[in-house]
């Protein structure tokens, strides 16, 4: 699995959840949007989740099981640099909501939701070349549409490849707080 999908799946399937997740088969599309001077380019990737594809527990909501249905879109900005390619990305969700499989209640994203990152790739094919380092930051304020309960989900992670070619996680923080 290349780093872009690793990053997108990490955020979508691990960062938003407190314990892991699973995917039984999703539809993925990638297209180049723009190239400037034959150097930098913009690439859009989409993953479409159908029922049962993206089911996950959320510990900060009483351990309820959740499901995401919709499209996760990643927009990458790729710029060649000495030793590889620098890639900044932003991730968007449509629709911006999760549904509890336990209660049927919907949790919607509130204003201020963000999910972005940066990676250094060792090869010229952005965003699919192997990565040398990768950083991700996410902030997802959520509100239960039935009860009005609010939570703030946060993620910050740094992953790198060491000299032996092993992937190491240097830093990981994710957590959930209740309230505005």
- Count of domains observed in the chain: 1
Domain assignment of residue 53, given as a range: 3-178
Q: pTM, whole model, 2 decimals? A: 0.71
The 3 state secondary structure assigned to the chain is CCHHHHHHHHHHHHHCCCCCCECCCCEEEEEEEEEECCCEEEEEEEEEECCCCCEEEEHHHCCEEEECCEEEEEEEEEEEECCEEEEEEEEEEECCEEEECCCCCEEEECCCCEEEEEEEECCCCCCCCCEEEEEEEEEEEEEECCCCCEEEEEEEEEEEECCCCCEEEEEEEEEEEECC
Mean pLDDT of 112-118: 89
pLDDT at 34 over 80: no
Confidence grade of residue 174 (pLDDT, cut at 50, 70, 90): low
pLDDT at 99 over 80: yes
- Mean residue pLDDT across the chain: 77
pLDDT for 17 beyond 60: no
């Amino acid at each position: 699995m290349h780093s872009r999908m690793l990053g997108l799946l990490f955020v979508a399937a691990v960062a938003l959840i407190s314990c892991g997740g699973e995917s039984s088969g999703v539809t993925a599309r990638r297209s180049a949007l723009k190239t400037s001077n034959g150097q930098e380019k913009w690439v859009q990737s989409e993953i479409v989740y159908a029922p049962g594809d993206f089911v996950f527990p959320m510990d900060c909501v009483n351990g309820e099981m959740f499901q995401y249905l919709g499209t996760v879109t990643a927009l990458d900005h790729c710029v060649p640099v000495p030793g590889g390619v620098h890639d900044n990305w932003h991730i968007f969700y449509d629709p911006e909501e999760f549904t509890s499989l336990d209660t049927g209640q919907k949790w919607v994203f509130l204003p201020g939701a963000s999910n972005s990152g940066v990676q250094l790739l060792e090869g010229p094919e952005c965003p699919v070349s192997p990565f040398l380092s990768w950083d991700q930051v996410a902030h997802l304020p959520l509100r239960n549409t039935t009860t009005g309960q609010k939570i703030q989900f946060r993620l910050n992670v740094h992953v790198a490849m060491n000299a032996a070619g092993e992937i190491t996680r240097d830093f990981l923080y994710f957590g959930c707080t209740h309230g505005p």
